[in-house]
Structure formats: structure tokens, C-alpha cells
Amino acid sequence: MITARRLRDAGFSGLRVVGDVHGEAEAFEAAIAGAESLGLFIIQLGDLVDYGPDSPGVLRRAFAMLDARRGIFLLGNHEHKLRRALIGHASAKLFVTPEGLGKTLEQLNAAPDGGALAERAVAEIARAPAWLRMGQAMFIHAAYHDAMLFRAPPEDAGVRRPDGPLSRALYGEVTGQRGPEGYPIRATRWVGRIPHGMTAYVGHDNRSTNGRPHEMRGALGGRAIFLDTGAGKGGALAWIDLPFEALENDRTLEIVQ
């Protein structure tokens, strides 16, 4: 279990929370190198792959980060879908777009170490946590659910069919409607459920209008920080640096893009 105390004891000075990477390997490398120079442990919020120019490169960097015990990645919906594709669960329900999962599979097929990367991706995605709480901070790929306050994520989140809190963690709060491009329309009513003093750091939805992480406050006094700023889709990769003290008192001290 990852806790602020254990990370302090390991010599880290705080966290670097990194938003959706979507195949932008060079930007992810810069985020990792900067975190290492500052003594920060990385929590990457999921969606490492798809859309961008080098998903294999992102996976290499993510696995090296895990091996060095300098960070983790959370389970995102794109990782969950990639694992299903890699183990052969092709079906009508596995929506493969040429610019998304299709691009990642092509890149893996073309990479000299693509087979090894695919094999490790299957294993690492299977055990990736779907959410993580540290003090007054909650780290999730898509959206908050009340149950996350009281229970750890399922240990088999990466291999099971998402439902309940796990579905919320991967896909957010869907309305049942779809936009003109066929993607589900997502609501943010869940922000209103975040308790006073708590901050949920999420990716998944690019709600930024200025290329920087977007903040929303809820009716109970909690807030959500959206760190997807369009990496791999024409935008940049964003991250936020948090000293461990900030996890206890609802303060966001520095946002870096």
C-alpha cells in the first residue's frame, strides 16, 4: 500500500501527479526526469496510450518508472481496453478506432520490442490500482464515487468487467447520451459529492479552456482538478506538484504544464 509516510521514509519530498499521456513519450520523459530531479514520486492518472505518436515509448518509460519504484500509473479506460485487445477479447463491444487503440496496436506491432511490451502491459494493467487516497487527496482516472472513501479498489480491477465504483473510476459519470462523434456524454454531478476539504485529482476529460488543469468546486466544499489537457490530441501534457503537507489541508501549490 502506498502512503505518504512510506514515501517520505523512502526519501521522496512530495508527489508529481501527471495527467493523461496518450502516447506523448517525450513529454512523459520530461515529466519523469523533472520529478526525479526534485525528489517527487509520480502518480500518473491513467490513459498512457492511444492517439499520440509513440505509445510503445510511453510504456517503456512507465515500466522503467515502476522498476525504479519512482512512481505508479492508475488504471485508465484506455489501458483496460488495451489489455482486452492484447489477450484477444476482440468483440463488437471493443470499440477500436484507427486513431486510438488501432494506432497503439500498430505501433506495438512495428516496435522491435513490441511483443515484450505487450506481454508486460497485460501484467501491469492487470494489477494497476483504480484509485488511491492519501489524506485529503483522492487520485482517480475519471471520476469520484462515495464508495472510494471507504474501500480500496478491487485487486483485480484491470481484469474484471467494470461496474459500480470501478466503472465510475474508469469512465466517469455518463448520461446515457452520445455526442456527434459517437462518444458518451459525461456529467460532472459527482463533483458535488466530494466532501469538504477533499480534492479529487482526475484525468479522462479535457475540460480546460486555457491549456492548464481545470478546477471545479462542489456543493459540499470539495473540489476536482482535471489534469487532462489534451496530450496526444493536439494539446500538452500537464502535471501538478504536491508536497506531502498539501495532502492534509486542501492546498494546490503549483501547477506546471
Q: How high is the pLDDT of residue 9?
A: 93
What does the pLDDT look like over 158-204, one tens digit per residue?
A: 999 988 999 999 999 977 777 666 667 788 999 999 999 999 999 99
- Asked whether residue 249 carries a pLDDT value surpassing 90, the answer given is no
Q: Is 210 exposed, middle or buried (0-12, 13-18, 19+ CB in 10 A)?
A: exposed
Q: How high is the pLDDT of residue 257?
A: 35
- C-alpha–C-alpha distance, residues 226 and 229, integer Å: 8
Q: Beta strands of 120-171 (E only): which ranges?
A: 131-134, 137-140
Q: Is 198 exposed, middle or buried (0-12, 13-18, 19+ CB in 10 A)?
A: buried
Q: How high is the pLDDT of residue 182?
A: 64
What does the pLDDT look like over 99-133, one tens digit per residue?
A: 899 999 999 999 999 999 999 999 999 999 999 99
User: Strand 223-226 relative to strand 199-202: parallel, antiparallel, unpaired?
Assistant: parallel
Which single residue is written with the C-alpha cell 482526475?
Answer: 202
How many angstroms from the chain centroid is the CA of residue 237? 12
Beta bridge partners of 243: 14
